[in-house]
Each structure stands twice: as structure tokens, then as C-alpha cells.
Amino acid sequence: MQLNTPAPTDQLGGSEYHIPVLPTQVLESFNFPDPAERTILDATAGGGGHSELLLRQGFRVIALDRDRDSLQETAARLSSYGERFTSVHSNFSDLDTALASLNIPSVDGILADFGVSSHQLDESSRGFSFMREGPLDMRMNQTSGPTAREVIETYSEENLKQLFREYGEEKKAGKIARCIVEDRGEKTFATTLDLADFILKIIGKREKIHPATRVFQALRIEVNDELGEIKTLMSKSLDLLNPGGRLSLISFHSLEDRLVKRFIAHHSQATIDRPEWPEPKPNPDFSLRALTKKPLIADKDECARNVRARTAKLRVAEKR
């Protein structure tokens, strides 16, 4: 995918509430010639940075978010766009139900940014960051589901070990899980710093990143069922995109990007083959055309403006 010259910084959308990553690349992924006649679903609205970029181009935007606070802020900030902007409080995996509630059978584009918004990370009461004191919560939707504290205090040692290893890719998963289970009877893991300081104490400082980084990632993924949500969104998107519509997905760590890469690759293959077959067979899931051979990433200027863009990867596919 060829990208145009990046827009000036003051035209890249966003607010103090949320700075959108890869703004130029996202706009290029929806480079339709007639935006005024197109509808884009922003499945992870956050603070509305990407939605605002798309609205400025003339698109109609349907914005979803399971974080009610983020959605209310977004709806208020973008209210000046009138009927071209609609917000729905919904998990992105329920995109089909959200669109059905608006009597919209299909859309021309689906955008999903799987990262935690700047506001969520910066707001200590949400419990996402080990750099600030806050309740050990981590729920995107604070009205339902178990908190990170409940996971820490109720999961078995084996389940915690598996969680930290698979979702956090943490090498010392076994030791961390064992120590948590041994100490949680006497120690209360009520806040983010309770857990972060505990992990620092038992495994020490070993890399440039904080030793609690991978554990916090694993807990956030578990609490919000992030990988399951991504799989569901991608699967449902195939029935909701119009022919020629675009699927634009931004991931922030290897687990997410691997899911997206494999999904697009599989659905972009006309045939599939297996060693035990005498010849390749037609792929019944062939429904996409990959538009990005490699993920699109932020340039140096964007990374300087927005540190959270450093790990962002965008992959784009088109509905056949």
C-alpha cells in the first residue's frame, strides 16, 4: 500500500483524551474516492481520535466502545458532526448487534485499534498502569466481569502460571505464580503498586522494562478476553463488509498481531494445501485480499510525538 505524504500534525485529530496512532496510514487504508457516500465502523472509538480523522474526510462514522466514560467523552466532543456520527455502547465483538440496532446491514470499512487508550492508561482509577497507584481493576467495561484483583486472588497457581506464560510471554511465570499463591493469604493485592512492587521484589530489575510489564499485560488480556474478542470481531467482519470494503486492524503486541496476520493470510488464499492431500483444494474461506504485505508502522516523527505509537502495527485487507 502506497502512502501519501503525512498530514500536518495539527490535522491528525485527537485530543488530550486520546492521541490516535498511525493517523496517516489509517486514512490511506480507507482511500475511497467518494467518502461522503461511505460508512466506516470505528469498533474501538476510545477518545475518538480516529473517528474524528474519518469525519473530517467526509465519512459517516459509527463508533463503538465498551468503556462508557470514553464513549461519552467522544460523543460530546464530536457532536458537531451531527448525524454523520453515531455512538453505541458495545463490545467490539458485538459489532453485528450494534449495527443491527441502527438498522445498518453492512459498512464500507471496519477499523479496530486494540490498544488501551491514553486516557485509560493515565487514569489511575482504572488500574491499567503499574506506574500509578490505583485499584487492581483493568476492566475496559467497569460494569461487568472479574477484576484483575479477583484473578490474582482466586486463580490456582497452575492457572496463573499458564496465564502469565501464554498472554504475557513471561519467562519467570512459574516463580511469580508460586510466590503470589504462597503470599496472598497474608498479603492483599488491592492496588496496582501492591502487585508491581511484589513482582519487582521477587524477580528484581532485569531488563529496560519494568518486571511487572508482562504480568500486567497478561492480566489485562485475561480480564477483557482481548484475544477472544479480536477473533470474534474478525470473523463477524466478513459478513458485515460490503464488497470492496476495508478491514483495518491495529495491534500492539505479538499475540494480537499474530492473530491478525494469520486471519488475513488464511482468508486471502484462493487454495489451501496439506501434505496428505494429492493436490491443493479451493479455500472455502477465501474472501479477502491482503493490501499490506508487511504491517505499517509509525515513522520517527510520530514516535517522537506519541510514544505509544512505537509498537503499533497496522494490517489492512479488502473484502472481495
Residue 25 has which C-alpha cell? Answer: 496510514
Q: In the chain, what are the domain boundaries?
A: 33-117+226-319, 120-224
CATH architecture of structural domain 33-117+226-319: 3-Layer(aba) Sandwich (3.40)
> Helix axis angle, 226-240 relative to 254-267, nearest 10°?
30
- According to DSSP, the β-strands at 241-251 and 85-89 are unpaired
What kind of fold does domain 120-224 have according to CATH? DNA polymerase; domain 1 (1.10.150)
Q: Find, among 19, 23, 21, the residue nearest to 3 by Cα.
A: 23
Which pTM was predicted? Answer: 0.87
**pLDDT at residue number 125:** 54
For 56-90, how does the pLDDT look when each residue is reduced to its tens digit (9 = 90+)?
Answer: 999 999 999 988 888 998 999 999 999 999 999 99
Count CB atoms within 10 A of the CB of residue 157: 14
**Contact assessment for residue 317 and residue 247, using Cβ atoms and an 8 Å cutoff:** yes
* Residue showing cell 477484576: 147
E strands, 206-312, are 241-251, 271-272, 281-282, 288-290
Residue 55 has which C-alpha cell? Answer: 469525519
**Mean pLDDT across the stretch 306-315?**
94
**Contact assessment for residue 74 and residue 87, using Cβ atoms and an 8 Å cutoff:** yes
Count CB atoms within 10 A of the CB of residue 35: 20
Count CB atoms within 10 A of the CB of residue 108: 22
Confidence grade of residue 121 (pLDDT, cut at 50, 70, 90): low
For 127-136, how does the pLDDT look when each residue is reduced to its tens digit (9 = 90+)?
Answer: 567 677 889 9
* Percent of the chain clearing pLDDT 70 (strictly above): 90
For 146-178, how does the pLDDT look when each residue is reduced to its tens digit (9 = 90+)?
Answer: 999 999 999 999 999 999 999 999 999 999 999
